[in-house]
Structure 1
């Protein structure tokens, strides 16, 4: 099994979750689900076998934040052009855990890693997480959650990304311009 290829699901998040106006829990699940479906199956059985767990854990960071768990600190959900926020670093951290767990055959842990990483990638690509707080933030995320299933997501590029943190930071900068 090609480990490099196995680690591609979270990297597809960078592509599939192209800059978005806003999203919340359900949207994280839908985008993560679509990223898994974008895989062609070659060497990615672990993602298909752990699909439900990966999708479910894509919302964990918001639950951690709601429970004042340090892993869910707001700083990890943000990525401003000024450098404030650590979403790209959080995505890279969980990616590194994913690669390690895949290499060691810890597929349940790898599923958790992939889901959590997808959350931080998604947040970094959400325009509302790339600039100052706006009073309608929650209302916009609720609206996006309601319509996300009717949107057509597509994978524009499946090239391998060497530097996850840099790739997420670059896409976050694009989102901030929305």
Structure 2
């Protein structure tokens, strides 16, 4: 009971104060994390964010720092997934910060900062991506459908990106792999 109250207290403070979010300490689902770190106030399953953002936030198909990328629902992602763009590297490569993707120390829910994500769509329209995967230490082999990017009204949390992102490694993963 006490740990549940502490967890709820930590999550509440994270949600109430996105700019002060302690990224490395968060453990939980992708949706509350993306909402807190991006400032985009949408609730519901990740795959629904694209439709729920209509009329409330600008949406598009080009990555921008602080934008939320919405992964479509699929057999691998039963409720979709959302991540926040932490850096745009080039027209086909970005880094994202997200929660609940890779297992870390055997558990899901942890935050990963500045994770490489690449556009693998034939039209170069960010409708299909691959994501760096911790277990393989490189881009995963699965391609995921993306519905688009949601652009926030205010600045994203300064905790969105790490102090020393690996730009070179990101590009090597994409173009040499």
TM-score, normalised to structure 2's length?
0.26
Which has the higher relative contact order, 1 or 2, with Cα contacts under 8 A spaced 6 or more apart? Answer: 1
Structure in which a larger fraction of residues adopt helix: 1
Structure in which a larger fraction of residues adopt strand: 2
